[in-house]
């Protein structure tokens, strides 16, 4: 039975070649006078993208400042640095140039500048709710997180290793510019990690025990098959524009809540388990998801068997006869094979980490605390369950 839902995605999307040249004009429509550019390393500089954006802002007489150096698993100290910079310069609009890390950092800064008397980390600790947020937009260069149209952001407190998410429609970007050409210089590992993240955003909403709609399932299954097909193409042909475009658009559709309409909101335990892994070991998020998902899937499949069987047949193309459990297992094994086909890990050893029991217990404890009592839909997990999943993933 379908659940009631509210679908709200106000982000305007400008998709295709040369759209980044119009950045200043698009920002001007929102009345921005002082923009902060938030970006990561040198790729946006090497590609010439930053220069194009700077010139576009100058053409519209928009004052801007810059905050570079955002890293994967974006850090709280960079957020605080951005808040200080924004207060000094009177920033009234955040423009992220890059992927999910830059966009999430911009969202956190936007929260902090909108309520400057409060500590933004309180939002991510869920001790208060945001009342305001400055407008955020993005020029996307990495197809992965879906943050360009989503309400979510994830920040890591590097002092404690805590990686926490905060979701609020206040931070949904007002627009995003998506030119697939700017994803062509990504290393293959980063491209494929992004593909896994896109798929997982859909799968987290697919494997639930709460409400289903045939149209939502069809959209989810089509998205998953499209990403898998094009992930394989990009593994050997990284300059393929059409494949880049398919994956880039899929990234937004996977995490703007479309593939969760009518269900209970999703499971998201693979994400939460991985957050503790990347918080502790600083692994690439998508690769971490690939490494933890098979053990999670095998641990919960008997509690969500109908969905795993459907997934095996409709997404992974499993046609063998057998019991439902055997068909579900064949689907999980096929996913592991797909991960290997695109150079992704399927366990922690292949990811390159070997946490001892003490670290596994610490990750499980932190994950349980971050869940705040909401611990899954496919199967409700206890802390001991989490320990088993981490251990089985080794």
Give the integer Cα–Cα distance in Å for 270 and 285: 11
Higher pLDDT, 265 or 217: 217
In this prediction, residue 41 carries a pLDDT of: 76
Q: What share of the chain has pLDDT > 70, as a percent?
A: 100
63 - beta bridge partners? 34
Q: Once rounded to an integer, what is the mean pLDDT over residues 150-164?
A: 94
Give the integer Cα–Cα distance in Å for 80 and 113: 10
Whether the pLDDT of residue 278 is over 90: the answer is yes
In this prediction, residue 44 carries a pLDDT of: 78
Give the integer Cα–Cα distance in Å for 142 and 132: 27
pLDDT category of residue 373 using cuts at 50, 70 and 90: confident
- Mean pLDDT of the residues in the chain: 96
pLDDT category of residue 2 using cuts at 50, 70 and 90: confident
Q: Once rounded to an integer, what is the mean pLDDT over residues 157-170?
A: 94
Whether the pLDDT of residue 94 is over 90: the answer is yes
Q: Once rounded to an integer, what is the mean pLDDT over residues 11-26?
A: 97
Number of CB atoms found within 10 A of residue 145's CB: 27
Number of CB atoms found within 10 A of residue 51's CB: 11
In this prediction, residue 83 carries a pLDDT of: 98
pLDDT category of residue 43 using cuts at 50, 70 and 90: confident
pLDDT category of residue 176 using cuts at 50, 70 and 90: very high
In this prediction, residue 46 carries a pLDDT of: 80
Q: Once rounded to an integer, what is the mean pLDDT over residues 349-357?
A: 97
Q: Helices marked H in the chain — which ranges?
A: 23-28, 43-46, 49-59, 76-89, 100-114, 121-124, 188-206, 214-236, 241-254, 269-281, 285-300, 305-314, 324-341, 348-351, 357-371, 383-392
Q: What is the bridge-based pairing of β-strands 34-39 and 162-167?
A: unpaired
- What DSSP assignment string belongs to 112-134? HHHSTTS-THHHHTTSS------
Give the integer Cα–Cα distance in Å for 54 and 264: 43
49-53, 204-208, 299-303, 370-374: least confidently modelled range: 370-374
153 - beta bridge partners? 166
Q: What domains are there in the chain, each with its CATH number?
A: 12-182 (3.40.50.1970), 188-392 (1.20.1090.10)
In this prediction, residue 319 carries a pLDDT of: 95
Whether the pLDDT of residue 372 is over 90: the answer is no
Query: What pTM was computed for the model?
Result: 0.93
Q: Once rounded to an integer, what is the mean pLDDT over residues 17-35?
A: 96
Whether the pLDDT of residue 81 is over 90: the answer is yes
- For residue 329, give every residue at least 6 positions away whose Cβ sits within 8 Å of its Cβ, in sequence order, or none: 298, 301
In this prediction, residue 329 carries a pLDDT of: 98
The pair of structure tokens assigned to 17 is 């070649």
Buried/exposed 93-106: b ≥16 CB within 10 Å, e otherwise: bbbbbbbbbbbbbb
Residue 278 contacts residue 73 (beta carbons within 8 Å): yes
Give the integer Cα–Cα distance in Å for 40 and 257: 26
pLDDT category of residue 192 using cuts at 50, 70 and 90: very high
- What DSSP assignment string belongs to 231-263? HHHHHH-TT-HHHHHHHHHHHHHHSSSGGGTTS
């Amino acid at each position: 039975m379908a659940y009631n839902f509210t679908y709200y995605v106000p982000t305007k999307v400008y998709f295709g070649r040369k759209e980044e040249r119009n950045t200043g004009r698009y920002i001007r429509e929102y009345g921005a006078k002082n923009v902060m550019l938030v970006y990561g390393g040198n790729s946006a500089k090497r590609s010439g993208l930053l220069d194009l954006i700077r010139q576009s802002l100058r053409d519209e007489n928009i004052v801007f400042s810059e905050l570079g150096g955002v890293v994967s698993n974006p850090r709280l100290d960079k957020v605080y640095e951005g808040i200080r910079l924004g207060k000094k310069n009177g920033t009234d609009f955040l423009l992220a140039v890059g992927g999910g890390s830059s966009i999430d950092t911009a969202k956190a800064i936007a929260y902090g500048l909108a309520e400057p008397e409060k500590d933004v980390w309180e939002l991510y600790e869920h001790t208060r709710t945001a009342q305001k947020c400055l407008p955020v937009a993005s020029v996307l260069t990495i197809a992965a997180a879906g943050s360009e149209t989503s309400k979510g952001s994830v920040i890591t407190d590097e002092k404690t290793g805590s990686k926490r998410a905060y979701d609020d429609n206040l931070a949904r970007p007002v627009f995003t510019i998506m030119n697939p050409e700017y994803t062509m210089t990504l290393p293959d590992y980063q491209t494929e990690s992004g593909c896994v993240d896109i798929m997982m955003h859909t799968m987290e909403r697919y494997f639930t025990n709460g409400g289903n709609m045939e149209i939502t399932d069809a959209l989810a299954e089509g998205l998953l098959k499209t990403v898998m097909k094009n992930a394989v193409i990009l593994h050997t042909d990284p300059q393929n524009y059409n494949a880049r475009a398919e994956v880039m658009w899929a990234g937004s559709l996977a995490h703007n809540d479309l593939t969760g309409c009518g269900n209970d909101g999703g499971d998201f335990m693979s994400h939460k388990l991985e957050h503790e892994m990347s918080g502790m070991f600083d692994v690439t998020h998508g690769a971490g998801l690939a490494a933890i998902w098979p053990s999670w899937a095998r641990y919960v499949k008997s509690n969500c068997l109908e969905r795993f069987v459907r997934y095996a047949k409709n997404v992974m193309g499993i046609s063998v006869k057998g019991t439902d459990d055997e068909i579900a297992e064949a689907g999980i094994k096929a996913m592991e094979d797909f991960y290997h086909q695109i150079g992704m890990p399927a366990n922690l050893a292949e990811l390159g980490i070997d946490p001892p029991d003490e670290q596994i217990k610490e990750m499980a404890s932190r994950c349980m605390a971050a869940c705040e009592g909401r611990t899954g839909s496919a199967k409700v997990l206890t802390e001991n369950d989490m320990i088993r999943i981490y251990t089985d993933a080794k």
